[in-house]
Amino acid sequence: MTSSPQSTASAGTQSRAHSGAQHVTFIHSSDFQLGMTRWFLDDDAQSRFDDSRLRAIARLGDLAEESGAEFIVVAGDVFDANALKPQTMDRALAALDALPVPVYLLPGNHDALLPGAALERAAQRDNITVLSDSTPVEVRPGVELVGAPLLARYATEDLATKAIAGLEPTDTIRILVAHGQCEDRSGENKPDRIDLPGLEAPLDAGVIDYVAMGDTHSAGPIGTSGRVWFSGAPEVTDFHDHRENVEGGEVNSGKALVVDVDKRSAEDSEVSVDERTVGEWTFDALHFEVADSADVKELLDHLEAYPEKTRTVVKYSIAGTLGLEATRELEEGLAAKENVFGALFERKRLMDLHLEPSDEELANLPLSGYARDAMSSLLEMASAPADPEGAASARDAVNLLFRLSKEPN
């Protein structure tokens, strides 16, 4: 069998010539986690975040129409939990039911198919099919889906391998839909880990042709076949950490996959995967080193460069030592942006910012008596490494006193 994986971000739709006995194009997504709340979003931002997550579903439909996809498969965690507000559930089901192509939903660990589960209601909709067991589901003649659903919050075995056990090679295009982590992605040998090497043999033999994975929120292939992919979440859910030598977190979320499968026989199939952006939000974790006003300006310019600030969340850490004027510029610049971003806040445990006025700044302070003594005490507190929260409060007080000292009487 052959495979030609792609990872592109083409905005348009390219026509493709297909000569195989069977061909299908579909959309692979996962991990909507509808109903999710983020502690760092205020009510206004949370409302925008909720709306964006519903719009991401509609954009999957647009993508299906643009690419000629026949259906959409969601590989688990459609909902963040089985107990949701009625409004959240009703809006989500309406959005899914309105998609222009059929949608197939796999129960994941967040919305396992327990009695009274959220997906039980989803299954009652005309346009939605819930992959409630591992019986092959015929999408149309020549195309099948095999689900590996979670029927409890935690699996006790490799559900993906179990789902295809006993299936034979076939000329039919067969897609395995699974949710979880693979053994080669974790050092822990837990019984529910999906045996990725164990999927390579049925892929090569034509038992299955593609594995649509959910659970990891960043899109990307795993293994060497190019036919096992995590779609990632269609809207970001956690931070992309941009610190040097520490980069991690959700490095590639907000995506959906357009998957093409051509199958000429059980021994001869080809898969291509086109990665497309559908998300609106950005969650970034940033770190800055500062020493003077030029560094402060660079930091503020970096924040200003975000194009969609109302749909951007930045948590930041700052390390370095600044004088009074540069500290004032930093604090005022950050304060001016806090209400513009979806959220903008300190990563407190990584903050290592110190205040150290130059001799010239101290000499030029128009303070005397009690005010000068108070400033000296605050400066000492602002430089205390053992109490970062107290130091931050002291910095705020120093900035206020410094600003007042500069204002005309």
Q: What is the pLDDT of residue 116?
A: 87
Domain range list for the chain:
22-277, 282-406
Could you tell me which of 119, 108, 135, 360 has the C-alpha nearest to residue 216? 108
Q: Which residue ranges of the chain lie beneath pLDDT 50?
A: 1-20, 184-186
Q: What is the pLDDT of residue 2?
A: 43
Per DSSP, the chain holds a count of helices (H) and strands (E) of: 10, 18
Say if CB 35 and CB 268 are below 8 A apart: no
Which CATH superfamily groups domain 22-277?
Answer: Metallo-dependent phosphatases (3.60.21.10)
Burial class (CB within 10 angstroms; exposed 0-12, middle 13-18, buried 19+) of 135: exposed
Look at the block and give the residue holding tokens 């990665």: 275
Name every residue whose Cβ is closer than 8 Å to that of residue 376 and which is 6 or more positions away in sequence.
none
- Residue 317 pairs in a beta bridge with 287
> Which pLDDT score is estimated for 10?
33
Residue 15 is predicted with a pLDDT of 34
Inter-CA distances, 213 with 45, 119, 175, 357, 389, Å: 30, 18, 10, 55, 42
What is the value of pTM for the model shown?
0.85
Please tell me the predicted confidence (pLDDT) of residue 357: 79
Q: At what angle do helices 324-338 and 388-406 cross, to 10 degrees?
A: 100
pLDDT of residue 144: 98
